[in-house]
Amino acid sequence: MKKILAVIMISLIFLSGCSSIPASVKDKAASTTKITQVLPSYVVELIEADESFIFYFGNSWCESCQFMKAVNNEVVSRGKIPMYYIEMDKTSTKQLNMIYQYVIKPVATPTYIIVLDGVVIESFYPEVFVGDDENLDVAHVSLYADNLIALLKTKGLIN
């Protein structure tokens, strides 16, 4: 009996610890001061509600994705635009397949997607606003943010 109880308890601990996305991520309104990590289903809801926003795909192990968080947080803070983050390696295939009905599966991360009035208009990589700076220099975070804000203005996402 003790063995059965121990197996059940271990199983419950294992199952509760397997959730790769924190509960706070599941459904969350956009922040105006930093990027917001969400599930793909939330982005689908926004698309279907004809919202305008930017989101990007990343991975927890991706150094560029981690670096770009500082740039993206500055863009959200300065541009007052909602930006959402989907961490692919910690999101279920079922959830990811929901968003792949609207966008092509990214071949590299980070991949940014612009949505205007519920229509996906463009996807791009950081090279578009970072340029040839392959080292992603911390001293250039503000410059990268300026470039991304300028790009979002040309696309009609920021006034």
pLDDT in tens, 9-26: 444 334 333 444 444 444
**Would you say residue 154 has pLDDT above 60?**
yes
CB 99 within 8 A of CB 43: yes
User: What's residue 150's pLDDT?
Assistant: 95
Verify cis geometry, omega within 30 degrees of 0, for the bond prior to 22: no
Please compute the mean of the pLDDT values over residues 24-44 and round it to a whole number. 78
Q: Return the domain boundaries, the chain.
A: 22-154
What CATH number matches the domain at 22-154, 3.40.30.10, 1.10.150.20, 3.40.50.620, 3.20.20.480?
A: 3.40.30.10
5: CB partners within 8 A, 6+ apart: none
Please compute the mean of the pLDDT values over residues 42-51 and round it to a whole number. 95
Q: Each residue of 92-146: pLDDT tens digit?
A: 999 999 999 999 999 999 999 999 999 999 999 999 998 877 777 888 899 999 9
Please, what's the largest Cα pairwise distance for the chain?
A: 67
Residue 7's pLDDT band (boundaries 50, 70, 90)? very low
* Nearest by Cα to 75 from 83, 85, 67, 64: 83
Residue 134 backbone phi and psi in degrees, to 5: -70, -20
Percentage with pLDDT > 90 across the chain: 67
**Would you say residue 37 has pLDDT above 70?**
yes
